Structure 1
Amino acid sequence: MIYLVNPPCPPGSVSNKDTMGGLGQLYPAGTPTIMPPIDLPYLAALFREHRLSCVTLDCLGSGMDAGDLLLALKRNRPRLVALRTSLPSLEWDLKLAELIRTVVDTELIMFGPCLKYLGELALRDGHVDAVVPGEAELVLPKLAAAPPGSPVAGVVRRGSAVVDDGGRIEDLDALPFPAWDLLPYHNYHCLGLVRNLRPFVTALSSRGCPHGCAYCPYPVVQGRKIRLRSAQNVVEELVWLDHGLGVRAVLFRDPEFAVSRDRVAAICEGMLQRSLTLSWRCETRIENLDPELLSLMARAGCVGINLGVESANEEILRGVGRKSFPYEKARTLIDCCHRLGIETFCFFVLGLPGESWRSALATIDYALALAPRAVQFTVATPYPGTGLWEWASGHGFIEEGSFSALTGYEATMRTEHLRIDELASLRDYAYRAWSMRGAAPWFRIAGCVRNLSHELKAAASFLRERREVRAKSVACGTGVTNG
């Protein structure tokens, strides 16, 4: 018997191992997000297809803690346990591996893309027998079918001098559809992203990103060669989710869903022809969109699009290999989305190379002016393997500490002009600015009517903070100019 395990979350956190190209993020406990890494249901489907005896255990979706996991393993005594890890959860997952060793004698494997850079750390204490740093769907079924301890491409064991990731899956259509029926998919949700509809699952219609932005882990993990599933294959999966499992909402996890306009159009037309009732959300670059395509996407059930805007400053964007997009065109497309009933969620990154008080405030103002339905302000995170990691390491800008801090929200890297604590302050200020100015004003008016004193005090406090922040921007106005 083989156990494929998405382990319990670190105490005080919710682990999302699917984001950041599979490197993962940690959210504060109570965050209304429960979804497993998509390689878990893919692996479950492959094991079923190859008739390999397997139990797929998603501790997050099942509400299992470390004690529950240890009890299950002690009772069933599997011959192999494969733990899915991530960058910010790795230290906790290694503690779990040590505990597993105390209750069952088994071959213990860890898999996840962070192990390409941290595999040696995972193997160091001897609790983990081997790591799989590449695409686990290509490796773990072969490992499960091989005699214990046998050499398998893509499996790195203790003492190995070579890190072999096993290559990448080129024909994504050859994969079976993710076996959500073997996981507790009725428990999954991601509040606000797909109108809170349930059952909710994720889908992956492509892998890879051709752009290679210096701060982004997706091209590092999935490669810069874009690997596309055919539109027909994607539609057939959606038919199965809708008609077979009763799924109501799908979040596409592609880093660049609309990289091929023709394919997106074919997927949407296929959904309309098959009369699917799914609501779905995707992520793409705003320059891939146009009003005609957006109209087709809306008719096919698209209710939201995540857009990476990142910065308002052209020089900063060029420095990390990203092109800017004219404000007028961006605002026009965002307004078009809203007219069609598609919610927009824009991502912004504070603290990229060259960032200053002035450029950061320009980005915050830009976010407010674009007026999407929601925003995310993250602090530039030096993920291992990215150009940003190399730049920050070379300049000594990374604060030493735990990998658990590499969440995308905690400030762990300074810039030429901003300290780590200043970046954290700018992130917090950005969210307060959004809550006071970017959110729908009618909600604020309603709030004032309900609690006038509280709202007026909050507004006065924010105005004082804004004056202080902008005064500091003038006093410390070094670095690149506004874009």
Structure 2
Amino acid sequence: MQILLVTPISNTHYVVPPIGLGYLASALRKNGFSDISILDCIKEKFSFKDFENFIRKEKPKIVGFQVFSFDFGRVKQSIEIVRKSNPDTIIIIGGAHVSTTREKVLKELDKADYGVWGEGEENLPLLLKKTLNSEDIAFKDIPGLIWKDGNKIQVNERKFIEDLDSLEFPAWDLLKPDTYPDNPQGAFYKNFPIAPISTSRGCPYHCTFCASYTNMGRKLRLRNIKNVLDEMELLYNDYGIREFHIIDDMFNLYKNRVKEFCDGVKERKMNISYTFPNGLRLNTLDREMLMLMKETGAYAFTVGIESGSQRVLDHMKKELSLKLIEEKVNLINEVGLEPSGFFIIGYPAETKEDIEATIKFAKKLKLKRAHFANFLPLPGTEATEELQQSKEIGNIQWESLFYSKVPYSPKGISKKEIKKFQRKAFLSFHLRPKILLKMLSEIKTPKHFKSILKRGWDYLFVD
């Protein structure tokens, strides 16, 4: 085996095809590399021993890890396994955590050889041409590369991919989306099998708690809708995909583009459902847009509400009012779609009264479900930088940045109280008879039911 791209061992409940690794595999193929494999340790339910046995057997020359902050310790252990099993293997790290901690990540994961931050479809092939093929490429000329220059760590400036249509589709033959279990990001689904799809990159908004811009930037870059529909049709015909999860950070900024997408789904006569696990932007939704999406398979989606306190919303730079939120949620219901809401508990400067207002507001809104996440001081966000500058937080334990944990609490509120608020919010919202019965009616199989119970238990009671 020459090149192995890895989704590491994780405690997340999401089991979805790693579309980012699929894009990297396609980019490598386009540049002449053919011996490429993708290993999803979550899907395969690998233990560290399983991973070690796999590495010893396959002996890959290159191993690339996708790194999220909450998986930091597991990635570190996995890298050490590779280094011990095959000392000559070149180890490369990338992903959201690498982009947000690029100045120090090779010191913390010191057994890794290189890091790639930002988008990897152009810089990873250049790195492998240099390291595997010995081509005359200087490390300093590879955009987005993090590398060791003697005892010094060098971080090259990244470059955005402006033309997303120039990218090949993800290597779906390696990802095999039709073989994934029914544990999607949003927990619930309408049809199966499911595949994620990305139609754009970047988000122009400045929410203080969000770090997505560190990977994809502020500029919204769009795929041509024909290009998107061609990929969906391939997945529909070749892999039997019947539900799509559109994972854009900002899908509905331009009404004409949403209409073009919906018209294209109609024209191609794909009998599908689709949803938006990362959420839609509320202020750009209108009745016509919602009706078009409903007519072409949209059935439910999540919207980022975050707080029931206008003061806190303003601090988050959400550019939303409580009045607008209520109006848009009512509109979504009027057209026959089912909204769920994202909320944050324990945001900096939040008071107990603010949290109570959020819980009350969530129950007032006509939402099907609500996700109450504890505030996570993610690296690279404006909120985290403010907390560090004010000395309110110090070094962050990366593994604590997980939805069931409480890595931070505002002044005057203990972490124990934040967890109690989260439990209260979740239970008081979902144990209402109408909400609970609706949720139970959407469970597909005993296995799906077991997965939902496990998620709920970990969400509420595992710290």
Q: Does 1:42 align with 2:55?
A: no
1:202 to 1:122, Cα distance in 2 relative to 1, 3 A: same
Stretches of structure 2 lacking an aligned partner (at least 5 in a row)? 442-463
Report how far residue 303 of structure 1 moved: 1.7
Q: Which residue identity lines up with residue 155 of structure 2 in the other structure? A: V
Aligned to 2:228: 234
| Alignment partners' CA distance in 1, 2:95 and 2:440 | 47
Q: Which residue identity lines up with residue 418 of structure 2 in the other structure? A: L
Aligned to 2:461: none
TM norm structure 2: 0.85
Aligned to 1:145: 129
What SS class does the counterpart of residue 354 from structure 1 fall into?
coil
Aligned to 2:164: 172
Q: Decide whether the 8 Å contact of 2:17 with 2:195 is kept in 1.
A: no
Q: Which residue identity lines up with residue 162 of structure 1 in the other structure? A: Q
Aligned to 1:349: 344
What SS class does the counterpart of residue 343 from structure 2 fall into?
strand
| Alignment partners' CA distance in 2, 1:100 and 1:441 | 46
Which residue, 310, 313, 321 being the options, matches 2:309? 313
1:409 to 1:64, Cα distance in 2 relative to 1, 3 A: closer
Q: Does 1:154 align with 2:140?
A: no
Aligned to 1:255: 249
Q: Which residue identity lines up with residue 219 of structure 1 in the other structure? A: Y
Q: Does 1:276 align with 2:270?
A: yes
The answer to which of 86-95 and 349-358 deviates more is: 349-358
| Alignment partners' CA distance in 2, 1:131 and 1:427 | 36
Aligned to 1:82: 64
| Alignment partners' CA distance in 2, 1:308 and 1:439 | 22
Aligned to 2:198: 204
| Alignment partners' CA distance in 2, 1:256 and 1:303 | 18
Q: Decide whether the 8 Å contact of 2:8 with 2:65 is kept in 1.
A: no
Report how far residue 93 of structure 1 moved: 0.5
1:438 to 1:87, Cα distance in 2 relative to 1, 3 A: farther
| Alignment partners' CA distance in 1, 2:437 and 2:224 | 44
Aligned to 1:111: 94
1:165 to 1:251, Cα distance in 2 relative to 1, 3 A: farther
Stretches of structure 1 lacking an aligned partner (at least 5 in a row)? 15-30, 447-483
Q: Which residue identity lines up with residue 42 of structure 1 in the other structure? A: Y
| Alignment partners' CA distance in 2, 1:277 and 1:444 | 24
1:443 to 1:90, Cα distance in 2 relative to 1, 3 A: closer
Q: Which residue identity lines up with residue 320 of structure 1 in the other structure? A: M
1:34 to 1:356, Cα distance in 2 relative to 1, 3 A: same
Aligned to 1:129: 113
1:233 to 1:411, Cα distance in 2 relative to 1, 3 A: same
| Alignment partners' CA distance in 1, 2:208 and 2:435 | 34
Which residue, 294, 306, 309 being the options, matches 2:290? 294
Q: Does 1:189 align with 2:189?
A: no
Q: Decide whether the 8 Å contact of 1:116 with 1:134 is kept in 2.
A: yes
Residue identity (%): 26
What SS class does the counterpart of residue 70 from structure 2 fall into?
coil
The answer to which of 264-273 and 129-138 deviates more is: 129-138
C-alpha deviations, 1:297-324, integer Å up to 9, x for none?
0111112211000112112111121222
| Alignment partners' CA distance in 2, 1:420 and 1:398 | 13
The answer to which of 277-286 and 149-158 deviates more is: 149-158
Aligned to 1:2: 2
Report 1:31-70 matches (<5 A). Answer: 31=13, 33-52=14-33, 53-70=35-52
Report how far residue 437 of structure 1 moved: 3.4
1:297 to 1:107, Cα distance in 2 relative to 1, 3 A: same
| Alignment partners' CA distance in 1, 2:275 and 2:385 | 33
1:399 to 1:422, Cα distance in 2 relative to 1, 3 A: farther
Aligned to 1:27: none
Aligned to 1:323: 319
1:443 to 1:167, Cα distance in 2 relative to 1, 3 A: closer
1:188 to 1:259, Cα distance in 2 relative to 1, 3 A: farther
Q: Decide whether the 8 Å contact of 2:206 with 2:317 is kept in 1.
A: yes
1:199 to 1:49, Cα distance in 2 relative to 1, 3 A: farther
Report how far residue 160 of structure 1 moved: 4.0
Q: Which residue identity lines up with residue 125 of structure 2 in the other structure? A: P
What SS class does the counterpart of residue 238 from structure 1 fall into?
helix
Q: Decide whether the 8 Å contact of 1:211 with 1:219 is kept in 2.
A: no
C-alpha deviations, 1:385-439, integer Å up to 9, x for none?
1111111112333375521001144222222342322222211111121133385
Report how far residue 188 of structure 1 moved: 4.4
What SS class does the counterpart of residue 38 from structure 2 fall into?
strand
RMSD: 2.5
1:419 to 1:438, Cα distance in 2 relative to 1, 3 A: farther
C-alpha deviations, 1:35-56, integer Å up to 9, x for none?
1432111112222333302122
1:209 to 1:76, Cα distance in 2 relative to 1, 3 A: same
The answer to which of 183-192 and 356-365 deviates more is: 183-192
Q: Decide whether the 8 Å contact of 1:62 with 1:184 is kept in 2.
A: no
Report how far residue 126 of structure 1 moved: 3.7
C-alpha deviations, 1:272-315, integer Å up to 9, x for none?
01101121112211111111111110111112211000112112
Report runs of 4+ in structure 1 exceeding 6 Å deviation: 443-446
Aligned to 1:391: 386
Q: Decide whether the 8 Å contact of 2:8 with 2:66 is kept in 1.
A: no
| Alignment partners' CA distance in 1, 2:159 and 2:410 | 35
| Alignment partners' CA distance in 1, 2:245 and 2:344 | 22
Report how far residue 214 of structure 1 moved: 0.8
What SS class does the counterpart of residue 146 from structure 1 fall into?
helix
| Alignment partners' CA distance in 2, 1:138 and 1:409 | 35
1:237 to 1:177, Cα distance in 2 relative to 1, 3 A: same
| Alignment partners' CA distance in 2, 1:255 and 1:367 | 22
Aligned to 1:72: 54
1:441 to 1:304, Cα distance in 2 relative to 1, 3 A: closer
Q: Decide whether the 8 Å contact of 2:118 with 2:214 is kept in 1.
A: no
Q: How many residues align?
A: 426
Q: Decide whether the 8 Å contact of 1:111 with 1:133 is kept in 2.
A: yes
1:362 to 1:425, Cα distance in 2 relative to 1, 3 A: same
What SS class does the counterpart of residue 269 from structure 2 fall into?
coil
The answer to which of 59-68 and 213-222 deviates more is: 59-68
Report how far residue 442 of structure 1 moved: 5.8
| Alignment partners' CA distance in 2, 1:285 and 1:243 | 31
| Alignment partners' CA distance in 1, 2:119 and 2:161 | 7
1:255 to 1:7, Cα distance in 2 relative to 1, 3 A: closer
